[in-house]
Amino acid sequence: MRQHKLALCAPDFSEWICQQTERSIHKYHMFSLDEKILIAVSGGKDSLVLWDVLNRLGYQADGLYINLGIDAGIAYSENSQTFAAEFAQQRNLKLITVSVAENYGQTLPEVARHTVRGRVKPCSICGLTKRYLMNKIANDGEYAVLATGHNLDDEVAVLFNNTVNWLAGYLARQAPVLEASAGGFCRKVKPFCRLQERETAAYAIINNIEYMYDECPFSDGATSIYHKQILNQLEADRPGFKQSFYISFLKAKQDGLFNPDLKSTHPPMEYCERCGQPTAVPGTCSFCRTWTSDESSD
């Protein structure tokens, strides 16, 4: 790890990853050993490695796989689910699976084709769908916290996008922990926020974790991927750049950089007339408007 001026053997590296994760969990007050954790598992390396690390550290973490029915010629969702299911089975861990086609009658690509904002790319529909289901299932299962595998590269790419566009609300909200709000949004945490993608990849290889190599076929050409290339170049030229950018952001925010009037938590709570889940706006929530067939031409 050039940014840490550190070289380790395989077992020490795995141990180091666990220590770093534990450090982030404590530093940002993510969760304790007696809290039930739900991990959003995609079948990719980050979420499976997170599950492995939390399990090794003695935390009670179940997995949640959301099958969005993306095929794109590579059976993307089916294969991803298989990696998640096999990981869980080998370690005797509990994996909750939800299929949108089974529960809501359509796949993500199908529903996206009928919406204005999903016509070109289903990514924004995918985001709202996953956020809705993750939150609902975390609440239904009485989990204390929802954990995602976002790593430093992901966080820095989001921060870069929020920064170059100066998105005030997102800047105020971006953090390793998003606290639960009284109305029904659960606590969300990112225990890998200080680990680089190549570090989680190395952990997966060392520990023989089989995962879905392919990126989502819809992510091709995404701005976030372009920004990641730029950020990789900055990291290659200035080792430690990503960590410094992210950590100095968190520190400046903690030191009061932003206007305290900015909404750093969720907006005032409303409840969906249809499903009863929390939502930011009155009436029917975005999820129901998107996935309920009689309004899917929205």
Interface residues with a second copy (CB under 8 A)? 163-166, 168, 171, 226, 230, 233-234, 237, 241, 244-245, 248-249, 251-252, 255-262
CA-based torsion, 28, 168, 148, 40: positive or negative: positive
How many CA atoms, within 13 angstroms, populate the side-chain half-sphere of residue 65? 24
Residue 117 CB neighbour total at 10 angstroms: 15
Residue closer to a second copy by CB (options 205, 230) is 230
Residue closer to a second copy by CB (options 237, 294) is 237
Alpha carbon dihedral 251, 256, 261, 266, in 10-degree steps, equals 20
What's the chain's Rg over C-alpha atoms? Answer: 19
Q: Rounded to the nearest 5°, which phi and psi values hold at 9?
A: -75, 170
Residue closer to a second copy by CB (options 57, 167) is 167
The least CB distance from residue 255 to a second copy, in Å, is 7
The least CB distance from residue 163 to a second copy, in Å, is 6
Give how far Cα 8 sits from Cα of 4, 28, 158, 180, 255, Å: 11, 26, 29, 37, 34
C-alpha–C-alpha distance, residues 270 and 280, integer Å: 6
Residue closer to a second copy by CB (options 74, 226) is 226
Residue closer to a second copy by CB (options 166, 213) is 166
95-99 and 145-147 as β-strands: parallel, antiparallel, unpaired? Answer: unpaired
The least CB distance from residue 254 to a second copy, in Å, is 11
Residue closer to a second copy by CB (options 47, 162) is 162
The least CB distance from residue 195 to a second copy, in Å, is 20
3-class SS of residue 55: helix
C-alpha–C-alpha distance, residues 153 and 159, integer Å: 10
With contact defined as beta carbons under 8 Å apart, do 67 and 133 qualify?
no
Residue closer to a second copy by CB (options 19, 223) is 223
Residue 280 CB neighbour total at 10 angstroms: 12
Q: How far is CA 285 from the centre of its chain?
A: 21
Residue closer to a second copy by CB (options 3, 97) is 3
The least CB distance from residue 132 to a second copy, in Å, is 29
C-alpha–C-alpha distance, residues 13 and 203, integer Å: 8
The least CB distance from residue 153 to a second copy, in Å, is 15
The least CB distance from residue 160 to a second copy, in Å, is 9
The least CB distance from residue 84 to a second copy, in Å, is 35
